[in-house]
Amino acid sequence: MFKKKLKKILPPQLISYYHKLLAILANIIYFFPSRKMVVIGVTGTKGKSTTANMIWQILNQAGFKTGLITTANFRINDKEWINNTKMTMPGRLQLQKLLKRMVKAGCQYAIVETSSEGIKQFRHWGIKYQIAVFTNLSPEHIEAHGSFENYRAAKGELFKSLRGLRISILNKDDANFSYYKNIPASLYIYYGLQEEADYFPTNLQPTAEGFQFAVKGHLFNLNLPGIFNVYNAMAAIATAKALQIKWQDIIKGLQDFKYMPGRMEKIISRKGFVVYVDYAHTPESLELVYKTLQPKAKRLIAVLGSCGGGRDKAKRPILGKLAASYAQVVIITNEDPYDEDPKAIIEDVFAGTMSFPSVEVYKIEDRRQAIKQAVRIAEVGDIVVITGKGSEQAIVTKNGKIPWDDRTVVRECLEEL
The one-digit pLDDT tens for each residue of the chain (417 residues) are 445 555 666 677 788 889 999 999 999 999 999 999 999 999 999 999 999 999 999 999 999 999 999 999 999 999 999 999 889 899 999 999 999 999 999 999 999 999 999 999 999 999 999 999 999 998 766 667 779 999 999 999 999 999 999 999 999 999 999 999 999 999 999 999 999 999 999 999 999 889 999 999 999 999 999 999 999 999 999 999 999 999 999 999 999 998 888 999 999 999 999 999 999 999 999 999 999 999 999 999 999 999 998 888 999 999 999 999 999 999 999 999 999 999 999 999 999 999 999 999 999 999 999 999 999 999 999 999 999 999 999 999 999 999 999 999 999 999 998
- Regarding pTM above 0.85, the answer is yes
Main-chain dihedrals φ then ψ at residue 286, nearest 5 degrees: -65, -45
From residue 199, alpha-carbon distances to 48, 210, 221, 230 in Å are 18, 19, 16, 11
Fold entry, domain 2-255: UDP-N-acetylmuramoyl-L-alanine:D-glutamate ligase (3.40.1190)
What is the C-alpha separation between 343 and 346, in angstroms, rounded?
A: 5
CB 52 within 8 A of CB 111: yes
- Alpha carbon distances (Å) from 256 to 49, 199, 357: 17, 20, 43
The residue count for the chain: 417
Superfamily (CATH) of domain 265-416: Mur ligase, C-terminal domain (3.90.190.20)
DSSP 9-29: HS-HHHHHHHHHHHHHHHHHH
3-state secondary structure (DSSP) of residue 358: coil
Task: Please name the helix (run of DSSP H) or strand (run of DSSP E) that holds residue 120, with its range, or none.
Answer: helix 116-120
| CA-to-CA dists, residue 200 to 80, 203, 306, angstroms | 30, 10, 34
Domain ranges of the chain: 2-255, 265-416
- SS3 call for 397: strand
